[in-house]
Structure 1
Amino acid sequence: MTQDREPLFEEDLRLLPWTSETGKPCYLAPGAEDVMVSAPADGIENRHLAEAARVLQECEAILADPAAGALALRLALTASSRAQRGTLRIARGRGLRLGVCDGE
C-alpha cells in the first residue's frame, strides 16, 4: 500500500483476532500498528494456534479410540469447530495482509 492514500480496502487493514460487541470484524489500519493493539493481537493469534494444535491431538486420540462414545465425539467436534474458526480467521487475516486472500 502506498503511504499517500487512506486504507479504504479490507486488504489494506489488519484483521484482528476478535470481533466487536455486535460480532463485526475489527481491523487495524497501517501505521496504527503500535504495541497497544498489535502485540495483544499477536498474542491472541498465537494462543488460538496453540489451542488448535492441542485440540487436533485430542481429536485424533478420540478418533483412534474405538470405544469413544457419541458424547466424546460430539465434544471433540465442537472443540474442533471452534479451533478451526479461529485458525481460519488468522489465516484469512494474514492472507489479506500478504495480498493472497480475496477477502471471502
Structure 2
Amino acid sequence: MTSGSVARLLPWVSPEGKPCYLVSDDGTGYLSRFADEVEATQLDMADELIDHAADMLADLTATPEQLRYLVARMVESLRDVSRVAESRGDRLPGAGS
C-alpha cells in the first residue's frame, strides 16, 4: 500500500467466507461506488426485515417454521449490517491511529 492508500472492508465475503478488502487512494473508483450501493441495499433490506419481523411477531398464527426462517434472515442481515458498521467505523478520521 502507498502512504495515502486505505484498505476498505467490503460489504461481502469471499466464496470461502473470508473478509474482502479494497485498497485505494481516494475511495471514488468504480468498486468503491459499487460497495457503497451494496451497503445501501443491505441497510434498506435490514429496515424492511425489521418491519416484516414486527408484523410476524404480531401475528399469533405465525408458525415455528416461519419464525425460524425469519430469524435466519435476520442473522444474515445482522452480519451484513455489522460489516457495514465496521467498514464505516474504520473509515472515520483518526480510526486508524
Mapping of 1:1-104 within 5 angstroms?
5=3, 12-31=6-25, 33-98=27-92, 99=95
Q: Quick one: which amino acid aligns to residue 75 of structure 2? A: S
CA offset at residue 6 of structure 1? 7.0
Greater per-residue strand proportion: 2
Which residues of structure 1 form unaligned runs of 5+? none
Q: Please identify, of 29-38 and 56-65, the stretch whose mean Cα deviation from structure 2 is larger.
A: 29-38
Amino acid at match of 2:50: L
- 1:5 is matched by which residue type in structure 2? S
Pairs aligned (count):
93
TM-score, length basis structure 1: 0.78
Secondary structure of the structure 2 residue equivalent to 1:66:
coil
Specify every segment of 5 or more residues in structure 2 that has no aligned partner in the other structure, as ranges. Answer: none
State the 1:65 CA deviation: 1.2
How much identity, in percent, do the aligned residues show?
33
Q: Distance in 1 between matches of 2:14 and 2:60?
A: 42
**Is the partner of 2:27 in helix, strand or coil?**
coil
